[in-house]
Amino acid sequence: MIDGPLGFAPPEPREMLGWRFRDPQLLQRALTHPSYVNEHPEANVLDNQRLEFLGDAVIDFIAADWVYRSYPEFDEGRMTRLRAALVRTETLASFARQAGVAQVLRLGHGEEEAGGRGRDAILCDAFEAVIGALYLDAGVVVTRSVLEPLLGPVATSTLAEAADQDAKSRLQEWSQGELKVTPRYRVVDERGPDHAKVFVAEVVISEAAVGQGTGHSKQAAEQAAAEAAWESLVGSTLPASARRRP
């Protein structure tokens, strides 16, 4: 049993996301953060990182398949943007909260005291691990039936807001969703007299310069750089350094 955020011990979970696990130990592992294992070596339990790895891939596949089937009129760029919104950290953390993951997640006392039970990154990882466990316990058909109903409302709100997004916002959403990295911008050159200055900016993802643009203001140059990066990255192969998570 584990101590919950209010000092009580919630029941050992066997059911989550509407599925009663045939192997409840899979679910328990999915709900075991590395901090718990580090603080309880005597418990001889495994953390959820391997299941998180699997769940991340399963969610990516199901989300991509769902977008492809649900929006046959979308080109590759629009499908990529929508999928990125569906699998981003904040989205998966919200799914974890809906499923009650936060209440039964096994954390070390240090992480608990630091507010880890409410952190998006921890909840996102735990949700990915739960999906990995569900896939192993029930297969892809059940996993798809559990995950797809969660995707629809997020897709609707994302598409409603898409028309208001500028190039920087689109690139940031994609980069955070696909790579878990936020793009950075830097001005690399200034040209011309003060009354007609031209700025050159580039966008950097994980230390790799992926786009460059010019404009008569720093903001305009950054927007142009984001647009250039978007055109070169989406649907193409990223530099190896840009694929590394921080």
- Which residues are the active-site residues? 56, 128
Alpha-carbon distance values, 25 to 5, 8, 20, 215 (Å): 22, 21, 12, 57
Separation CA 214–CA 223 (nearest Å): 9
| Nearest partner of 44 among 26, 24, 29, judged by Cα | 29
Give residue for tokens 């992926």. Answer: 210
Question: What type of residue sits at position 170?
Answer: R
Burial of 41 (0-12, 13-18, 19+ CB in 10 A): exposed
Separation CA 60–CA 64 (nearest Å): 6
Instruction: State the maximum Cα–Cα separation within the chain, in Å, rounded to a whole number.
Output: 72
